[in-house]
């Protein structure tokens, strides 16, 4: 968490403790996961685990460009689901 001088008097909340936000995020994830292909799901799981996209591509033995394209396709379909 980065705190600037302007934030000195304000209270910072831990997003992991924001239950309502977590519930909304889980519901959204449940909606969009249905549009993910198995390949996209593997990449997403690695990203959730903290890997960068290029690292996920390397672990899945695919070119970085293919992983980027895969995530772009997923993003377009996911946006349609949540719109």
pLDDT (0 to 100) of residue 3: 46
Which are the contacts of 21, defined by CB distance < 8 A and separation ≥ 6? 15
d(CA 38, CA 22): 24
pLDDT (0 to 100) of residue 1: 45
d(CA 50, CA 31): 22
DSSP letter assigned to residue 10 = S
Which are the contacts of 26, defined by CB distance < 8 A and separation ≥ 6? none
pLDDT (0 to 100) of residue 13: 60
Per-residue pLDDT reduced to its tens digit, 10-59: 556 665 667 887 777 777 777 777 889 999 989 988 888 889 999 999 99
Q: Is the pTM of this model over 0.75?
A: no
Higher pLDDT, 20 or 8: 20
């Amino acid at each position: 968490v980065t705190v600037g001088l302007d934030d000195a008097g304000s209270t910072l909340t831990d997003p992991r403790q924001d239950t309502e936000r977590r519930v909304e995020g889980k519901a959204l994830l449940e909606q969009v996961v249905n549009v993910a292909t198995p390949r996209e799901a593997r990449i997403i799981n690695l990203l959730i685990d903290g890997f960068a996209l290029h690292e996920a591509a390397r672990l899945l033995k695919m070119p970085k460009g293919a992983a980027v394209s895969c995530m772009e396709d997923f993003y377009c379909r996911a946006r349609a689901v949540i719109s």
